[in-house]
């Protein structure tokens, strides 16, 4: 398989690491953190957030009292929690009649990434994103690539002591243009994401959300005021597949896409093509038609290759031919910028002008080899290229 892709020989584990984590290094405990200060590394230790208020806890936003318990209104799960119960996301708890987040200032993953890794191809190319994640997720995806941190509680992970202001300080120290809330599900550590993003904007740092998009409208609109870009995983275009693959629903994700567009957040979309699950080409056509009908034809669409892991190890790697067919369908539907992910060296990593068809950004993995966009326009024909380029 590696020979076919033009890669050096490697075993399955190394191939998965290459495809999902890329040249930027490992998410957890990486030695590639540049000048990340000793302060964080010295404070890296197991943090037991406990069941109630404490240094790494904060009262949650968006919940209400009901006769059955506290109802969390942050995401479509709308968990109802009795005393000391924890929500599906594993990081919100009912403590003495108040709802608390126990994922505040205690990220389990801290890393400096190329922005292209998110993936964001039309947003500040070649810049770096200071990336953080706290444990927890409100979905249960069978294909989760970061299940070690997304499918557990902050009580179960090794965590950094990194409050919002410290995140901003470290972002500046590492010369990053943005902070990325990523790896697990940033809307589950909502209060941490929100407070950090507000402080980041005060220092002219951009905010990037990498998310499943499974969040309610009011919390999303509040957060979107402080976001600059987002990549949302549109995992399928069938509600039944969402329910069986991820234990979620399709409609809230589609709502998230339209809200981010309305709020002026630069939006890119990822669709992981999983054999026997999300590789139906008729469904992909319906998805692309919907995107174009809802004003999202300018939003880059990334079809990503599935690599078998977590609860779907028996499935094959997505055939290249399937991904290429999906890309052709999207382009014919009117999506202007369609990329193929986890296939380093493929021509569909590059950006092509929708008018003159010339290559205007050449990529290899997360590296920009050439950029012919000048003043947000194609340098060959002067066609405006949607995105935030400088």
Helix (H) / strand (E) containing 45: strand 45-46
Taking each helix axis from N to C terminus, what angle separates 217-224 and 190-202, rounded to the nearest 10 degrees?
A: 20
Q: Residue 53: which pLDDT band, with cuts at 50, 70 and 90? A: low
Taking each helix axis from N to C terminus, what angle separates 190-202 and 164-173, rounded to the nearest 10 degrees?
A: 50
Instruction: Assign 88 to helix, strand or coil.
Output: coil
As a whole number of angstroms, the distance between CA 2 and CA 365 comes to 15
The CATH class of 12-38+107-349 is alpha beta
In this prediction, residues 94-102 reach a mean pLDDT of 95
Q: Which of 110, 184, 189 is nearest to 147 (CA)?
A: 184
Amino acid 296: pLDDT? 98
Give Cα separations from 292 to 173, 250, 295, 304 (angstroms). 40, 17, 5, 20
Domain boundaries defined on the chain: 12-38+107-349, 49-101, 356-390
As a whole number of angstroms, the distance between CA 168 and CA 105 comes to 12
Helix (H) / strand (E) containing 255: helix 250-262
Model pLDDT for residues 272-312, shown as the tens digit of each residue: 999 999 999 999 999 999 999 999 999 999 999 999 999 99
User: Token digits for 139?
Assistant: 């979905």
Amino acid 17: pLDDT? 42
As a whole number of angstroms, the distance between CA 229 and CA 227 comes to 6
Model pLDDT for residues 223-278, shown as the tens digit of each residue: 999 999 999 999 999 999 999 999 999 999 999 999 999 999 999 999 999 999 99
As a whole number of angstroms, the distance between CA 54 and CA 60 comes to 13
As a whole number of angstroms, the distance between CA 1 and CA 18 comes to 13
Model pLDDT for residues 1-35, shown as the tens digit of each residue: 343 333 334 444 444 444 433 333 333 333 345 44
Measured from the Cβ of residue 168, the count of other Cβ atoms closer than 10 Å reads 21
Least confident of 34-43, 58-67, 211-220, 258-267: 34-43
User: Token digits for 98?
Assistant: 């108040």
Please give the model's pTM, rounded to 2 decimal places.
0.89
Residues 6+ apart with CB under 8 A from 229: 120, 123, 178, 206, 207, 208, 209, 265, 266, 267, 268, 388
């Amino acid at each position: 398989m590696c020979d076919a892709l033009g890669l050096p020989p490697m075993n399955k584990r190394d191939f998965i690491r290459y495809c999902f984590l890329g040249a930027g290094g490992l998410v957890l405990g990486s030695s590639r953190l540049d000048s990340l200060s000793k302060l964080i590394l010295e404070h890296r230790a197991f943090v037991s957030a406990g069941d109630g208020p404490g240094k790494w806890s904060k009262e949650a936003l968006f919940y209400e009292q009901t006769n059955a318990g506290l109802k969390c209104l942050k995401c479509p799960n709308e968990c109802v929690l009795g005393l000391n119960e924890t929500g599906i996301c594993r990081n919100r708890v009912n403590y003495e009649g108040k709802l608390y987040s126990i994922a505040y200032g205690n990220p389990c993953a801290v890393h400096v990434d190329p922005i292209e890794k998110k993936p964001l191809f039309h947003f500040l190319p070649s810049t770096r994103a200071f990336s953080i994640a706290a444990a927890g997720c409100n979905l249960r995806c069978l294909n989760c690539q970061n299940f070690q941190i997304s499918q557990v509680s902050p009580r179960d992970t090794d965590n950094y002591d990194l409050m919002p202001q410290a995140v901003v300080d470290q972002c500046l120290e590492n010369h990053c243009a943005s902070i990325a809330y990523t790896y697990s599900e940033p809307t589950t550590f909502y209060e941490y994401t929100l407070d950090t993003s507000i402080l980041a904007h005060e220092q002219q740092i951009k905010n990037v959300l990498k998310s499943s998009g499974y969040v309610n409208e009011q919390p999303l609109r509040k957060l979107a005021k402080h976001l600059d870009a987002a990549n949302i995983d549109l995992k399928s275009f069938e509600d039944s597949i969402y329910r069986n693959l991820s234990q979620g629903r399709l409609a809230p994700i589609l709502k998230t896409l339209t809200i981010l567009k309305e709020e002026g957040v630069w939006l890119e979309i990822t669709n992981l093509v999983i054999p026997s699950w999300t590789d139906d080409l008729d469904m992909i056509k319906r998805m692309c038609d919907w995107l174009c009908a809802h004003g999202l034809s300018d939003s880059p669409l990334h079809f990503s290759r599935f690599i078998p892991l977590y609860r779907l190890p028996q499935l094959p790697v997505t055939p290249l031919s399937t991904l290429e067919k999906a890309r052709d369908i999207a382009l014919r539907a009117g999506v202007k910028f369609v990329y193929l992910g986890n296939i380093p060296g493929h021509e569909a990593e590059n950006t092509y002008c929708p008018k003159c068809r010339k290559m205007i950004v050449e990529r290899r993995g997360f590296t920009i080899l050439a950029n012919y966009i000048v003043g947000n326009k194609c340098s060959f024909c002067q066609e405006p290229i949607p995105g935030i380029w400088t």
